[in-house]
Amino acid sequence: MRELLDGPHRYAELLGGLPGIATNLLADRLRTLAESGVIERHGDGRYALTAWGQGLQDAIYELGRWAAPQMLRPPGDDAFRSHWLGHIVLARFDGTDRRRGKVTVEIRCGDEPTTLYTADGRIHLARGPATAPDIVLDGPPDAVIALLIGLIDAASARVGGVSVTGDARKLRRLRPRD
């Protein structure tokens, strides 16, 4: 479900975004979700959420907010994909907050850099490095995310292996959801 929140994907893309899943298990899940009306398969072979399936986004994000303290646990052998940041960020910083200050953060964890920036009171993400970031966070995903969403401070993040370039206090401008 998380992978399809980003939009339609081919089977191979879903498989790549779900490290460690057996191909037969993914095929079974896709079949069951399609039979239940949660997803559909387009003529071009891509899978997508139905309108009804898209209604699960709030529930998935609420579950993510509930599980946020688990970000403090090192991932061990768990894989991480950079595009997963989008869901974490949307769950933690959803909506518009006109009090959000301008800040650009380059996040380096996972398979490619991601840029987080604020505009018009909203949080946005873009793939790739930032041109002029206020802050650069580089390190293990669990500690980078915990710092980004306010579960730990910069000193704790550094202990967890995060390199912070710039003034980490600017992260407060993001104003996470309580």
* Prediction pTM value: 0.64
Mean pLDDT of 74-79: 59
What is the average pLDDT score of the chain? 84
pLDDT digits (tens, 9 = 90+) for 86-116: 677 777 787 888 888 899 999 998 778 989 9
Mean pLDDT is lowest, of 9-18, 71-80, 91-100, 143-152, for: 71-80
CATH code of the domain made up of 3-55? 1.10.10.10
| Superfamily (CATH H level) for 78-174 | SCP2 sterol-binding domain (3.30.1050.10)
Distance of alpha carbon 163 from alpha carbon 137, whole angstroms: 6
Q: For residue 31, what pLDDT band results from cuts at 50, 70 and 90?
A: very high
Buried b (16+ CB within 10 A) or exposed e, 157-174: bbebebebebebeebeeb
pLDDT digits (tens, 9 = 90+) for 110-168: 778 989 999 888 888 888 999 999 999 998 888 888 888 888 899 999 998 999 999 99
Closest listed residue to residue 175, CA positions, set 101, 85, 105, 124: 101
Paired strand residues for 80: none
Structure tokens at 29: 């899940």
3-state secondary structure of 151: coil
Distance of alpha carbon 5 from alpha carbon 8, whole angstroms: 8
Distance of alpha carbon 125 from alpha carbon 42, whole angstroms: 27
Percent of the chain scoring above 70 in pLDDT: 87
**Domain range list for the chain:** 3-55, 78-174
